[in-house]
Amino acid sequence: MRISAKGDYAIRAVVELASRHEADGERRPVKGDAISKAQDIPMKFCENILSELRAAGVVQSRRGADGGYWMALPPEEVRLADLVRIIEGPLAAVRGVRPTEAEFAGTAAPLREVWVATRSALRRVLDLVTVADVVSGTLPPIITDLLSDEGAWDVGRGLGGISH
């Protein structure tokens, strides 16, 4: 799985909005340029992303001097997987199709199960972590468990120790 800059920016923009979300239910709009500056997202890119998130029902907006963006949903109801799917599409795709729809011939047939399991592993993380978790800095135990795995922080570790 590869998260594009757009996917990363979308998650960061929503996290920024959520950090300003009022628990008392009163929504105070945040200007797009404030989100852009706070998260170092190019302004035009930020506006386009926020527009997509608005169309998907994650954020709402209002124009004008008192306008801006705010969370349409409580941050604890927005999972990182939701944001990735909105911006990037399915969590895992093989040649542009869902792993369950991928077909492999002969000795490669078991690859379908590998790709379905890969998607399942992604879901285990991204479907459990909410925007509220990121804002609070209190991530689910699965994150701590995965980070404690030997090699979790290694970069480019491949077969036989070959770097990629």
- For the chain, how many structural domains are there in total? 1
Q: How far apart are CA 74 and CA 159, in angstroms?
A: 43
C-alpha 126: how far from chain center: 7
Whether residue 60 lies inside any domain: the answer is yes
Query: Which CATH number belongs to the domain containing residue 127 in this structure?
Result: 1.10.10.10
Whether residue 67 lies inside any domain: the answer is yes
Whether residue 162 lies inside any domain: the answer is no
The contacts of residue 135 (CB under 8 Å, 6+ apart) are 15, 18, 19, 75
What pLDDT, on the 0 to 100 scale, is given for residue 65?
84
Residue, of 28 and 106, whose pLDDT is higher: 106
Residue, of 96 and 127, whose pLDDT is higher: 127
Whether residue 156 lies inside any domain: the answer is no
Whether residue 161 lies inside any domain: the answer is no
Question: Domain span at residue 114?
Answer: 5-151
Whether residue 135 lies inside any domain: the answer is yes
Q: Tell me the C-alpha to C-alpha distance, in Å, between residue 93 and each of 20, 99, 101, 105, 150.
A: 34, 6, 9, 18, 27
On whether the CB atoms of residues 75 and 105 are closer than 8 A, the answer is no
Q: How far apart are CA 57 and CA 108, in angstroms?
A: 40
Place of tokens 């979308």: 10
Structure confidence by residue, pLDDT tens digits, 65-111: 888 999 999 999 999 999 999 999 888 888 878 888 888 899 999 99
In the predicted model, is pLDDT for residue 150 greater than 90?
A: no
Global pTM?
0.84
Whether residue 97 lies inside any domain: the answer is yes
Whether residue 164 lies inside any domain: the answer is no
Which pLDDT band, with edges at 50, 70 and 90, does 162 fall under? Answer: low
